[in-house]
Amino acid sequence: MSVFDGLKGKAEVLKGKAAGLVGEHSEKIKDGIGHAGNFVDSKTGGKYSGKIDSAQSKASDLVDKVDRDEDNRPVDPYRPSA
């Protein structure tokens, strides 16, 4: 077993934990994305509002995708239940 195999296993565990946290807090994350985008839009005077709206939409879609994937993930017997 190489060093990279061990790192890959640890990365998978961290990915699972991160996905679980996104799933638990998806609404708060999307709310934060909205607030951040609105803040940047106000600071730029609306000059980049189209690009900011697009980035907000893509980020929210990504949160939804991670949340959906977490819901479809099989139960991990080694992961303690919350």
pLDDT digits (tens, 9 = 90+) for 20-51: 888 889 999 999 999 999 999 999 999 999 99
pTM: 0.70
Q: Is the pLDDT at 77 greater than 70, yes or no? A: no
Q: Is the pLDDT at 79 greater than 90, yes or no? A: no
C-alpha–C-alpha distance, residues 54 and 60, integer Å: 10
C-alpha–C-alpha distance, residues 12 and 23, integer Å: 16
